[in-house]
A and B are shown apart, each in its own frame.
Chain A
């Protein structure tokens, strides 16, 4: 099985090709037939007036037959399921125990870029210096973990999409893109070197763009796609510079060789590591939506909900965390870069959580929650707790996918409504969705003995025990931020739950009549994911001996660095329990506040608070005006207002001097005018006349016939060669 590693990404690729070709061929003859029945312009109007209530419904009023729907379903879902089976086959073939002892398996498919560089380039001793790049697929404990949940969650979401997208004209297109995404994500995870990682990285970016803009006939979706693409491009720019740096420094891009070289001879590489790590982190910031490059992720909710679940919650956005965990050797050599990662992560977590408190779009709340949770993961990486970060990546994949799919089910039930102010009381109407959503909400809020309780607790404990030599007080501050964010998370998630499922229904009569439970293809993935969000935390139970199985599983990726002793913190049990108690207390406060404000108090307290501090409420509700600021500074500023600003400077500051001088000049110019009129004009007109008559002659040469020019050119060449031959 392990030698079938190459087949894991291959099947989704085949699925993409089949789905794409069949869709193209079946739609070529029909011309411009889109789903939704609306062409350009018709939907753009509603989007412009209410972009935040962007509907992505799984419904099309006209129920017409979708060509090749069965084929698309079988190929689209089947290819990913096969990949999932192969992935688990490969993982169990090598064995979990072997992985935790450092086993890995790599297969080199072909030599990709052979570079015949002069070997005498100044090289650091111990670097690989091979100067070529192979297409190598590699599986070790880190990629096995990613592989397992990417293919598994991917399969579930593909299954869910069959139900959710069932009425869409672009069914085949959707599955083609989704399969292409799976292919790219698997290349990203399995790539054995930086360049292959980058190929997957760009591939998922492309698919993200395609799927956000899936409803391309709507302006807001197309714009959101472009925004995601452009913002990601900024991050990728940093990432590829980092890759250049690694290649220049080590002469290789192969993970094993590069990290082994860095770990064996840290003194030689340390000076460069801060720069390289920061560049890599810029890439991670773009892909994983960290401040200040997070702005694309909330907008990315314009895509269909399964896409939000798969790409913008469970898998693609965690690629940045994966990459940093992969490069942990580099980051441990660059403590300053680690501090930056930790601060950015903590800040993003808090920042996005506060925005999430005031959002009214069900998917936007989840989007900001994702940004916030990603911040947690980066915080973990920043304090050196890479395994804990990956642990949270895994649990987050399950519960956030469950939340998004649940939100999709709610939207499906509501016939496209996404505004939670017009929901309420759905618990009895869609019980299966409600129960799974409740479980996932309890999980993300950090309720004890559910998955995120363990993973968040592991991160918070690691932050609490972290040591930064440069700024010793920082870890405690970061811990406080993380704790507060946990409370906020519990608060806004329960606000969402309360407004959506509890209380009484606040929508229209038609909507109430329309509400119905989703089909089994949608509820089964929800139930599986809800189950996993309960149990997946038990792979990393703290305190108990050998309880932290995921930490042990991921230990091999943390190569020991020569001359840097591994710090093992075994905090006393009382502190661990105290931290847990604090987390539980904060989560309960958040849950209680949300319940008492929104369920019992029916939103009176928040309304009063918003009225008391209108400035604060406006800032939070408008996401701190970051998008507006970017619009002003980068989009308009540099293009339009920059010019206007310079004009203002010109008109006020610079013009003072000429205005003063003007009076003097006016006197002088009267005299000059006379001189000008007779002497200068005479001269100028004379020259002009002379030139005009001269060029009347020359313009004859411009016959406009190319052959004439060619003849002159040939003649000129002949003369030059003749002169050269005669007089050399």
Chain B
């Protein structure tokens, strides 16, 4: 069986869906961060698959950018986690509802 672009897209779609679902349903701050990471990497996979298919390096360059941004995002996310934990003594995001209308 040859691996076509569709396979990549399906894997990428599954990864993205898992990540998105994780963001929606999980309550632990860290798990949500990891789910976001999953979504970002699904996008990376997508970009690289198309980059390969179209023989255009732009996609790969973009995925490098995404990885870079993801690193920054992880750093800020973890910093938020720590300061959140210091405030609430828990990692449950349900506790973060002070912006409620």
Contacts and interface: CB of A to CB of B under 8 A. Distances in A.
Contacts of A703: 97, 100-101
Interface in A681-728: 699-707, 710-711, 714
Interface residues of B, number: 12
Contacts of B25: 707
Given A711-B24, A714-B20, A706 B101 contact: no
Given A704-B96, A705-B93, A705-B94, A710 B24 contact: yes
A714 B23 CA distance: 11
A707 B27 CA distance: 9
A702 B20 CA distance: 21
A699 B101 contact: yes
Nearest to B27: A707
B101 A707 contact: no
5 contacts: A702-B100, A704-B98, A704-B99, A704-B100, A707-B93
Nearest to A703: B100
A65 to B, nearest CB: 41
Interface of A: 699-707, 710-711, 714
B23 A702 contact: no
B24 A705 contact: no
A714 B99 contact: no
B93 A700 contact: no
A701 B93 contact: no
A704 B101 contact: yes
A66 to B, nearest CB: 38
B101 A702 contact: yes
A700 B101 contact: yes
B100 A707 contact: no
A561 to B, nearest CB: 46
Contacts of B96: 704-706
Nearest to B32: A707
Given A699-B101, A704-B97, A710-B20, 6 more contacts: A700-B101, A703-B97, A704-B98, A704-B99, A706-B93, A711-B24
Nearest to A707: B24
Contacts of A700: 101
Contacts of A701: 101
A691 to B, nearest CB: 15
Interface string B62-101: 0000000000000000000000000000000110111111
Contacts of B24: 707, 710-711, 714
A710 B23 CA distance: 8
B38 to A, nearest CB: 14
B96 to A, nearest CB: 7
Interface in B28-83: none
Nearest to A717: B20
A287 B20 CA distance: 56
